[in-house]
Amino acid sequence: MIIRKKEHWFKMLFVWNGSVLPALLPRLILLFLLSITVVYLHGTIFSFKVPLNPAPLTLFGFVLALFLGFRNNVSFDRFWEGRKLWGALLNDTRSLARQAITLIDEAPNKQSTINFVQLLISFTYALKHQLRDTDALEDLKGRLSDGQFKIIEPARFKPVMLIKLMAEWIREARANKKIDSIQQIRFDENLDKLAEIVGGCERIKSTPLPYSYRVLLHRTVYLYCLLLPFGLVDSLQWLTPFIVVFIAYTFVAFEAIADEIEQPFGTEANDLALNAMCLTIESTLLELVGEESPEIKISEDNIID
């Protein structure tokens, strides 16, 4: 994810890193060349003058902008819901760590508490890898005991299995009379919240927008951009290629941004910074138990994920 401070309005005109323009540039160049050809031929194709004028294109463009606005709102809702789920994950892991530290006598059971905190940290990394379809074993190997790692390694849904291990830790604490039944219930309530977060993230990942809707909007945007030079050539002449590219950039970029943030758990420039969030959770939990915590570093190009 790209994190930038508020920049001067003039510098914003030339921002490249984090913009969708690099991906759109080949398409815009092709449209620019098409527009030059249309102007050169005065809007005729095989001696047939295409009878278009700006009026219907203006009306159609207004309707298309409304549909693109709706598409972007839906995509941003998914992005923001994902961010809220990971914000809740930070809060719930802190609550569970605090309960493990304060509700159980820390002095004789510090290592046991640290093991529970490592399960919470491992859960966070496992969820990140599950959402990104990447291998979590490298991040889990140094944070889990050998016995725990053997249980988690073959599991398909590793975050859920880690919740089970945390529940077994709580059950063992109850059996050893380190916590009472009421405290056990409070632990279970927070574990249920973790399970709800996993389910919410899986819902976003596994339920994209209907494909037919995306195809319809995609075709409409590009058809509109291809017809635009024929509607503007008579009134704008050689200004047509520049105006067409500017209008097309607006419409095509809106569609590209919506596609990018529709699945917010990926690794593109505008997706959620899950690596940084995992480091934040790890740092705060280790600090709670008095262990050394990793630093969160931002690279020179302002990418934190």
- Mind giving me the DSSP string for 202-223? HHHHH-PPPHHHHHHHHHHHHH
With respect to residue 105, please indicate whether it lies within any of the assigned structural domains: yes
Tokens at 182, concatenated: 């009421």
CA dist., res. 266 & res. 249, Å (int): 24
Residue 225 lies in a domain: yes
In a domain, 144, yes or no: yes
Mind listing the pLDDT tens digit of every residue in the chain (305 residues)? 656 566 666 676 767 777 788 888 999 999 999 999 988 888 788 777 777 778 888 888 888 888 888 888 999 999 999 999 999 999 999 999 999 988 875 555 578 888 999 999 999 999 999 999 999 999 999 899 999 999 999 999 999 999 999 999 999 999 988 888 999 999 999 999 999 999 999 999 998 888 888 888 889 999 999 989 988 888 888 999 999 999 999 899 988 888 888 999 988 888 899 999 999 999 999 999 888 777 665 443 344 45
Q: Is residue 269 part of a domain?
A: yes
Integer Cα distance of 78 and 203 in angstroms? 10
Residue 204's nearest CA partner among 80, 305, 70 is: 80
185 membership: H or E segment, kind and range: helix 181-206
219 within some domain:
yes
- What is the residue range of 227's domain? 27-44+70-288
Q: Determine, yes or no, domain membership for 83.
A: yes
- For residue 12, tell me if it sits in a domain: no
| 284 assigned to some structural domain | yes
At 243 the three-state DSSP class reads helix
Q: Cβ contacts of residue 157 below 8 Å, gap of 6+?
A: 130
Q: At what angle do helices 106-132 and 181-206 cross, to 10 degrees?
A: 10
Amino acid in position 258: A
Paired tokens of 257: 């941004």
Domain count, the chain: 1
